Structures are given as C-alpha cells and as structure tokens.
A and B are shown apart, each in its own frame.
Chain A
Amino acid sequence: MATIQKSISNADEEVWQDKPRFSYWRVFIWALLLLGAAMMFMPFLWMLSSSLKAEQSVFQYPPQLVPDPVMWSNYVEALVYKPFGTYIRNTLFLVAVNLVAVLVMSSFVAYGFARLRFPGRDAWFVVVLATMMMPYYVLMVPIFIMFTRLGWIDTYLPLTVPAFFGGGAFNIFLMRQFFRSIPTELSDAAVIDGCNEFQIYWTIMMPLAKPALVSIAILSFLFTWNDFLGPLLYIKSPDLFTVSIGLAGFRSIMRSRWDLLMAASSAMTIPVVALFFAAQRYFFESGGITLTGLK
C-alpha cells in the first residue's frame, strides 16, 4: 500500500520534472482532456449559475452563464423556506456520532484481527469478508421490522446504533490491512515495557494509524452526509430530517423554482467539495486503498 501511495504523490512531481516537449501526441491528449473536462464541469457551472439567478431568468434562452443580477438571496430564501439549518444540524450530529463509532470500533476490532493470534481468528475474518458481499436490500426488510418492533422508528437509533457493532466490515478490513503493515518490533518493545494489548492498541497503534483513520473518517462522513435510504426509511418527523430527505422533500414541493432548488443542492454539495479540497490527498489515496484489497 505504501508504495502505491508514494507513487501517486510522486507522479505529480514527475509531471513537472519532465521537460515539456512538444509533440502532436501530447497536444492531442491535452485537447481531449480539455474537452472532457469541459463536459464534466458543465453540470457544476449550471448548478451554481442557476442557483444565483433571479426566479424568471432561469427560463431564458439563450441562458445567461453569469447571472445578472446575482441573487445571493436565493441561498437565504431556499435555506429558510424549509428549516435547512435544523436539517444540517441533525445531519452533522449523525455524522459526529457515526464518526466516533466507526473510528473507535473498526480500529479496535481490526487490531484483534491484525495483531493478535488466537484460534478462530481467520475463520471470523472470512465472516467479515462474507458480510461485505451481502446486498443491503436482502436485509432491509427484516432489519426494518426489527427496528419497528424495538420502537426505534422516528428516532436516530437505527442510524447510529449499528455502527457501534464493529464499525462496518469494510472499515475493519481497511484498518486490518493498515495495522498489518506496522512492524511488530514496536509492539514487542511495548510488551517488554509491560503494556497490555489494550494499551498497545490505544497508545501505540492508534497514533500510528492516523492516515488510515483519516481515510475512514472521510468515507464515513461522505456516507452519513449523503445517505438517503436510511433517513427515508426511519425518519418521519420533519424536525428530525437530515439534509438529504429535506432536499428531496423540498424538491417535491418546489416543482419549478429551479433557482431555489439549485441553491439548496449547491448548499448540500459545497461541504463535500470543501472537504475534498481540504483533504485531497486522502481522497485520491482511497483508490490505492481499494487496490490493496486485491493484493
């Protein structure tokens, strides 16, 4: 894994070390990339530009690319029309709880799989992998009925409690791969110093695992922030809505106010994009992390 990650970060520098030579092949590739990039970027521009237009100018042909006048007030109007402030706060609460659960539980379990030897360990790890293969929709109905019986419908319990049981098979898998790459000398030294396994896990391995923990934190944030099906199934009261079901509800009452709909969609997307720019390296490394699963 380390070599892959290293090669990704090195590749950027190599691009600039490489002297820019002119060749038709390069120009062709560059033109192709530029065309593709324009196509990929267009929907973003369209979203932002529509979100800043006046109510009627979204229906103009040819469309204004730069809105005139620029209606920053759309964001205010969209976000107070429905209590998006509450939705955002609710979602952030769910994000925080799941983040703690996933980081602590998946690393704790993964430590057992990666660094301890005991009978049955490998069989249980196969079980971890097997649960990753199960489509969620097979279990959706029985789990929904379970939560109904428990009286957990319209609470946050169905959206938070499961994460405390192991933190997700995929995260366990990622953390195990990471822990296995740390040399055993470190923990051997700690044993001699009288540390028990729990101390080694918490005081030695966790600080070393920071890169993997950040990757998992990002994945967990994205999952909770974007999750639609979970809140759709379990949340009924508007004051418990998350951003995703809030936006879906906003869409169903605002059939043609595209200015406001785009403002709300942008508002949901901007935090994700901001996180991306703050932690770009970890996003791109997720490609490398996925790869390690194949080795």
Chain B
Amino acid sequence: MDAVQPVVKKPLLSLGAKKTIIGYIFIAPFILGFFIWFLGPTLYSAYLSMTQWNLISPAKFVGLGNFQHMLDDKLLGQALKVTVIYTLISVPLGLVLGFLLALLMNTKVRGIRLFRTIYYLPSIVPAVANAVLWAWIFNTEYGLLNVILRFFGVSKIAWLIDTRYALPAIILMGLWGVGGGMIIYLAGLQGIPAVYYEAAEIDGAGRIQQLFNITIPLMSPVLFFNLIMGIIGSFQVFTAGYLLTNGGPENTTLFFVLYLYRNAFQYLNMGYAAALGWLLFFIILALTLIVFRYIGKNVYYEEAR
C-alpha cells in the first residue's frame, strides 16, 4: 500500500494509538463514574470509618475505635442475629421452592402459561406497595392471614406485634416473591437438551434418577449463582424491616442495614455507619468465599462446547 501511495501524509497518530483513543472514549463514561461514584467514596468511606462525626462539629479521628466499639454494641449483635437467622431460613427456602416451582413449570400441563404468570407477578410488585399490602394481610384483627387461620380454627396471631412471629412474617412475605428466582431456573431447565433425558430413559432411569443425575448436576451452576446472590441480597434487606415493623417489636426485625441506616441518618454517627458498611462488606466477602470453598466444589460445569 505505502509503495503505491507515496504521497499520503504520515498520520499524526499511528493506527494503534488512534484505536486506543477511540476505545477509551467509548469506555470513558464508566471510567469517570468509577472514580467519582466508586473509588472516591470507597476511599472516603475507609477514612470515615476511622472517625467520629455527626456532620455538624468537625470530624474526630479515632483510629480503629469504631471497630472496637462494635464488640460491645449489643444492638449490633441483635442486628447480626436477625440478619443471619433471616438469611439461614429464607435463602435455602427460596432456593428450594423456586427450583421446585421451576420443575413444575417445566412440565407439559394445561394452562402452564397462566400459572407461570401468576407465580411470577408477585416478584415485580413495588417494595413499598408490597409492604403496605402485607401490613394489611398481617393485621391481627382483620388481616387475610388471620381470617384464613380462623376459618381453620386457629386463634389470632399478632404477626407484627408478637416478638416470636415478626421475623417469620417478614420471611413469609419474602417468599411471596419466589417467582423471580423461578424464572431463572426455568430458563436453565429449558436449556437442557432433551437428548439427555431420552438417553436416560432408554437406559431405564426413572423420573427421580433423572432429576438427581441429569437435572440437578446441570442446574448446579444456576443454583449456586442464585445461592450467592440470595445471600448477598438477604444481607441488604431494608424496606421490609423499615416499613412493616420499623425494626420492632423489641428489635426482633432490626436488620443489619436498617441498623446502619439508623446510625447514619437518625443518630448521625456517620463514622460508625461507615464502619458498619465495611463490616457488611467483609461479612459478605467471607460468606461468599466460604460458599465457594465448600459448595462451589460440588458445582458441575459442562465442558466448553
């Protein structure tokens, strides 16, 4: 080319440099956002976590004082307890129920489309409308749940007022949205080639054997993904605890991030709230690593096709 067109002026930039510049122009919005909304706040948060500050008087540097304070913070202990119990119950329950529902949705029975819609819809109800609706469902005197229980002869339960029932009530409310996970499993199930089942049938494998030897192994990456996302999500439950019970009764629904929110915006302990944010980060990191270590090894990955 060069020999044929000797008159072409040497470009200001080499082709490679030009490509690099264009590439960075495209990703520049993200890079800018990364520095402004991510890296900056992360560093700032690390600094804040070592201060005592109420937004008004000047910040006081306290080193690791906030983290030391956590050890004697009884409410923090309560918040962790509530969040861990919630996670231990709602995540496995949601996983199993969502998966079972997806299995049912994957069968060829009449009206399956309508069923799929009905099971999925609750998962898109706006969080605030959802909380108001369930406050009414859990109403002790006239709520739907107690009306149904009364029909079966069970006496009234003060769902959101009784310390034994408030957290189970919020777990129940969360399970109503199980269709969101179901739809992911369903997509996974429908991606399993039918030939696997046909071959298994020829070999004489029954339904249960097919489930445990084909479906579950092939679905394990999806189940594993949802397990991790479920844990991360359940540590960040806010709206339900804030609107339905406001942490009560007797702090039995004081979720971790609700406690963080209160420290920041009600008690104006900005430094302590930032430190709690970092505690949350390390808890989620540790749980993710543990889950990867002990459950991740059982996940079956297909050979790359």
Contacts and interface: CB of A to CB of B under 8 A. Distances in A.
Interface of A: 3-4, 7-8, 11-12, 14-15, 18, 20, 26, 29-30, 32-33, 36-37, 40-44, 46-47, 50, 58-63, 105, 108-109, 111-113, 116-121, 124, 127-128, 131, 134-146, 148, 162, 164-167, 169, 172, 197, 201, 222, 225-226, 228-229, 233, 243-245, 247-248, 251, 258, 261-262, 264-266, 268-269, 272-273, 276, 280, 283-288, 290-291, 293-294
B277 A284 contact: no
Nearest to A4: B191
Q: What 8 A-B pairs have minimum CB-CB distances, sorted nearest first? A: A112-B26, A165-B33, A118-B23, A166-B30, A287-B187, A287-B183, A142-B41, A138-B277
Nearest to B263: A141
B27 A109 contact: yes
B62 interface: no
28 contacts: A7-B191, A8-B186, A11-B106, A15-B109, A26-B107, A36-B101, A37-B114, A37-B119, A40-B121, A46-B136, A46-B137, A62-B151, A108-B29, A118-B20, A118-B22, A131-B38, A135-B236, A138-B42, A141-B264, A165-B37, A166-B30, A167-B29, A197-B22, A228-B238, A243-B128, A262-B133, A269-B126, A284-B116
Contacts of A144: 264
Given A109-B27, A139-B45, A288-B187, A233 B133 contact: no
Interface of B: 19-20, 22-27, 29-34, 36-38, 40-42, 44-45, 48, 55, 101, 104, 106-110, 112-122, 124-129, 131-137, 139, 141-142, 144, 147, 150-151, 176, 179, 183-188, 190-191, 221-222, 225, 232, 235-236, 238-239, 243, 257, 260-261, 264-265, 270, 273-274, 277-278, 280-281, 284
Nearest to A61: B147
Given A15-B108, A61-B147, A116 B284 contact: no
A106 B126 CA distance: 24
A166 B260 CA distance: 28
Choose among B24, B191, B235, B261 the residue with the greatest number of A CB atoms under 10 Å from its CB.
B191
Contacts, number: 274
Contacts of B101: 36
A136 to B, nearest CB: 7
